[in-house]
Structure 1
């Protein structure tokens, strides 16, 4: 027992120095700011300011949409990866791995080139005679959701792959042997057996998406500001460190509350 504690102590010290101490510094700034003494005025502003409220709701709305879309798309991709033929599995694995070699900045600008008014999609639609005016596909929430979903699908694939590989083939064969069709076996047997992977993928994607900055900043074009971008603006462009740190603490508290609620609600179901 003592040997295990000694081995894990350096990790705990590293995590404390890397995460806990900086967070405590943020909490301190949120209750002091530029004013002497302690104050909760920054939290009052963060809660009552309509701009901050709109950013919070937009962040939660976008992140929830991205989570649902990413997990749904990753489920299909992972199913082909785990249960497809050797060639299909190899091609899907390449599609999952290659995006990790491309920076988030390059991907965001790639989607900007695709979705802009003079981008490839609008150009093709106009040449095909399907539209007369360019569709607003970027500098709005739609563009942000597309870019974030594309980035997070590979991350959602790994928890799903672990769950799918742990599915007992004998259970699937038993269902088919009792007369269940492939579709019924998939929906009523296979999907429930992989819900732990879906839960893990959803939590991973949601937590990642909350802190996104580059993709919303580029594809949102300043019209769909999310929490991370608001914090950046309040730190470096419109200096208000007290409000920025208060928003950061509230965001962390909201994430923790959502995660605890989800784990209590679905934790037992995912086992």
Structure 2
């Protein structure tokens, strides 16, 4: 009995800290959503009926799905090389995956702006080679946002995939090859199904992170491809409409929680990280 009391005494500060840091502010946001500008659920009605809000939500969903697909595919390829390539290649991929964690989000966003801008390195290089006559519009649109977000999220998606692949029994792959299966059939029928928990974990991490992106879409979108986080910021600090901002935040939190619960139900949590 004393041991259980001691354990609970050690664990108690963590949920208390989380309640103070996260739960209390969230309850304040919920209060805004039903009291500003007047008491009621009018703000939630606006979330699902206002064309402007619906367009922002739809754009956010579309961009996040594209980013999730692109990130998961790229992360899977990098993870495969990291696990199964020769040691020198593994070290090179490991360095390439880990080094972005040391670079700030703002620096990476401005780096892509330098590359993709109308007078950036990519457009300048293509014009010098005579491949284009007019600069390509690569920023201030959804394409630039998807590129920047994908670049930021790939390292996060690689980690669960690498963990999942490293826990594979490679003898199964060798046996499949020994029985005459081609590399493609081994991948489709053996490797990919066995690494599906890592794929689900990578996609979940990517989708959850992308829903709350602010800096990268704000810089690369240039105000023309506004996602939900930037829209909430505008409603709070520019239009001072705290009610609709709170309602959108609550709806977003509920959607994320439901998504997490669905994936946990479909996939064992411990398998998401191998």
The answer to whether 1:204 aligns with 2:205 is yes
Q: Which residue of 1 aligns with 2:155?
A: 154
Distance 2:216 2:245 in 1: 20
The answer to whether 1:24 aligns with 2:27 is yes
Query: 1:199-238 residue pairs with structure 2 within 5 A?
Result: 199-238=200-239
The answer to whether 1:108 aligns with 2:109 is yes
Distance 2:163 2:11 in 1: 26
Question: How far did residue 258 of structure 1 move?
Answer: 2.9
Give structure 2 stretches of 5+ with no counterpart.
none
Please report the RMSD computed on the Cα atoms of aligned residues, expressed in angstroms. Answer: 1.6
Question: How far did residue 74 of structure 1 move?
Answer: 0.5
Distance 1:209 1:138 in 2: 18
Question: How far did residue 126 of structure 1 move?
Answer: 1.1
Distance 2:25 2:47 in 1: 21
Deviations 1:146-171, CA, capped at 9 Å, x for gaps: 00000000000000011000001121
Distance 1:6 1:82 in 2: 41
Query: 1:241-256 residue pairs with structure 2 within 5 A?
Result: 241-256=242-257
Count residues with an aligned counterpart: 268
Distance 1:15 1:200 in 2: 23
Deviations 1:89-125, CA, capped at 9 Å, x for gaps: 1110110111111110011111111111111111111
Give structure 1 stretches of 5+ with no counterpart.
none
Q: Which residue of 2 aligns with 1:163?
A: 164
Question: How far did residue 187 of structure 1 move?
Answer: 2.2
Q: Which residue of 2 aligns with 1:267?
A: 267
Alpha carbons of 1:263 and 1:63: their partners in 2 closer, same or farther (altered >3 Å)? same
Question: How far did residue 256 of structure 1 move?
Answer: 2.2
TM-score by length of 2: 0.93
Q: Which residue of 1 aligns with 2:52?
A: 51
Q: Which residue of 1 aligns with 2:75?
A: 74
Q: Which residue of 1 aligns with 2:40?
A: 39
Distance 2:223 2:202 in 1: 29
Question: How far did residue 34 of structure 1 move?
Answer: 3.8
Q: Which residue of 2 aligns with 1:138?
A: 139
Distance 2:33 2:204 in 1: 27
Q: Which residue of 2 aligns with 1:84?
A: 85
Q: Which residue of 1 aligns with 2:14?
A: 11
Question: How far did residue 263 of structure 1 move?
Answer: 4.0
Question: How far did residue 7 of structure 1 move?
Answer: 2.3
Q: Which residue of 2 aligns with 1:193?
A: 194
Distance 1:169 1:47 in 2: 50
TM-score by length of 1: 0.94
